[in-house]
A and B are shown apart, each in its own frame.
Chain A
Amino acid sequence: MTDNKSGVLVVVEVEDSQPIDLGLEMLALARRLTGIMGGTVTAVAFGTGLETTGETLTAYGADQVLLNDNEIFTNFHAEAWLPDLSKIITEVEPALVLIGHSESGTDLAPRLAFRLDVDVATGCESIDIVNGRPHMTRSCFGGLAREVITFTKTPALATIRSKSQQALVPDMKRSAEIKHVSSILDVNAIRTRVVNRDREKAVGVQMESAKVVIGGGLGLGGPEGFKTLNEIAELVDGAVGASRAACDLDWCPRSYQIGLSGRTVAPELYIAVGISGASHHMAGCGNSKTIVSVNSDPKAEIFKSSRFGIVGNSQEIMPALAEEIRKLKA
């Protein structure tokens, strides 16, 4: 590196005053990278009710925590985040900035990069340090390929895919400098106005943290198929997701979508039902520990990633599987 920038700054999203898992996963990555290239790990969190956030982020690996506790940050709004975040990054001078590849992060990171006149690698799965420079590996071509890229300007920005990293075991004995920063935001400068927000109340187990996720696709044959998947999910304490095709047909809520433009899951077990395994779907579930799939097409791509496969009609197999699991659990 030709400049004095060092260390890694992690932008941690906060939900209901708690850092989200992806933020903690990125702290583990930041620790590993600073272990190689030197520098410290700075965690930055915007939100409200951040009384215990500093301690949590310290335990998960931060050396320095900057908290911007302000009501204007209760809900994410890219334009509100940008002035403060730009200022913090300019002052901290990190070599690398990590942002979650989440709904908010994908909206925020490109704007931030252009505002800082640097570059961003979105949807990174891993980062390595080669000759002191971050080499960022990301999925492209709808999940069919991977590219490894580096930037000539610093800091490099990267958005990190959920579940691509593993959070550290929290160490309550770690200590860090926890600072509160005050916002420089001029609310009159915000040009986009949120006039209405309509979120579905999340029910059941959250997909991202579930040990078992069952995904349904076109092979389910209709919305009724999801009922059986929900039954099985309840039996195994899992969550239900879907392919884009199933969501596009309104067979299930849009929030079920797993894949490139949907959610990313990496459970212990992913059961793919009537899902062909198109690369844009695999981009959202390819990191699952074990995949089991049911598909009527023996040549379906999904079987190449599966530990167990069943070639058959999911409308017959799944009710039977629900029954068998119920017996096992009884």
Chain B
Amino acid sequence: MKIVVCVKQIQNPEIPAAQFRIDEEAKVLIPVSGLSPVLSPFDEQAVEAALRIRDRAEEGADIEITIVTIAPKGARAAIKAALALGADNAVLLNEPTFDGGGGYVTARNLAETIRAIGDVDLILTGRQAADGDAGVVGLGIAEILDIPAITFARNVQTADGVVTVQRVLQDGIETVEADLPALVTISNELGKVRNASMRETMRAAKKPVKEWTPEDIGLDETQVGSSATRYELERLYIPVNEIECEFISGDTPAEIAATLAQHMREENLI
């Protein structure tokens, strides 16, 4: 079985808000210096979901896990991280022409890459990238490839050409299945991700990484990156909503609580 996991590398989303900077003029993120990019957390969980499928497979089952990413400026952090976790190989789209496409172009480029890889049974993506927060690309790939898609998975299993997914609902869980090939987007409820072992990390350096050009996926330069984009970023900014906080103190919890309750009552909040 061939599994493709689409991943994105981003600035570590767990940095304190105070370190987060935007260049409003250029409408881009100013990277925090000295901070290595990471695999977007939901994508890391998509890699984990693929590895769990392989862990559960019968002895001798042939499961190949391929990582696909569009990485700007030759960056390889996401691919390295995914290979160190246990993926087998990777396809990297990192020519400058691939930069700055937006959801539509990214989905299209990834879909054509998956077509070029050929005979892919299962495609996994994170539910959304932790920088754009859009949640568009995964479903877009499925629509372009005309295959079924199941979103927000917390558990993915395959058997006999069928993928069975536990989907997270706001107030529960549903089980959905589809015939392969299919695409599944992974949610944080999948749970804890394994750590890269020393052995896999050493092996990762030797795993094959193909670098593809637009031509390799059957597209020309007008169909990739910013030259194909259909959206305009008008503005990018950090909202300011700081308000003056009135701190309430007192000698005992009861006294503090009484003051707060009084304030809330005076302001008609309770």
Contacts and interface: CB of A to CB of B under 8 A. Distances in A.
Contacts of B269: 212, 268-269, 290, 292
A145 B230 contact: no
Contacts, number: 230
A193 interface: yes
A194 B174 contact: yes
Contact of B245 (A135, A309, A312): A309
Interface string B173-204: 11111110010000111000000000000000
Contacts of A142: 13, 130-131, 133
Contact of B241 (A202, A260, A263, A286): A286
Interface in A160-192: 191-192
A153 B136 contact: no
A72 interface: no
B172 A255 contact: yes
B231 A149 contact: yes
Given A140-B131, A212-B270, A145 B136 contact: no
A330 to B, nearest CB: 12
A2 to B, nearest CB: 14
A304 B242 contact: yes
A306 B243 contact: yes
B246 interface: yes
A191 B178 contact: yes
A328 to B, nearest CB: 6
Chain B facing A: main interface SS: mixed
Given A139-B133, A316-B253, A306 B245 contact: yes
Interface in B209-261: 230-239, 241-243, 245-249, 252-254, 256-258, 260-261
Nearest to A147: B236
Interface in A257-284: 260-263, 268-269, 279-280
Chain A facing B: main interface SS: mixed
Contacts of B173: 197-198
B171 A255 contact: yes
Contact of B257 (A147, A269, A323): A323
Q: B interface, how many residues as a size bin?
A: 35 or more
Contacts of B175: 194-197
B231 A152 contact: yes
Given A269-B269, A328-B261, A304 B245 contact: yes
Nearest to A190: B148
Interface in A129-144: 130, 135, 138-144
Contacts of B205: none
Contacts of B128: 261
Nearest to A153: B230
A3 interface: no
B123 interface: no
Nearest to B261: A324
A79 interface: yes
Nearest to B104: A119
Interface of B: 13, 16-17, 20, 22, 29, 102-104, 107, 127-128, 130-136, 138-140, 142-144, 147-152, 164, 168-179, 182, 187-189, 230-239, 241-243, 245-249, 252-254, 256-258, 260-261, 263-265, 267, 269-270
8 contacts: A138-B133, A142-B131, A146-B235, A151-B230, A198-B172, A262-B170, A301-B17, A319-B253
A-B complex: 9 closest residue pairs judged by Cβ atoms? A114-B143, A320-B257, A199-B172, A191-B148, A324-B261, A110-B139, A148-B235, A321-B257, A316-B253
Interface of A: 79, 103, 106-107, 110-111, 113-115, 119-120, 122-123, 130, 135, 138-153, 191-200, 202, 212, 236, 244, 248, 254-255, 260-263, 268-269, 279-280, 286, 290, 292, 301, 303-313, 316-317, 319-321, 323-325, 327-328
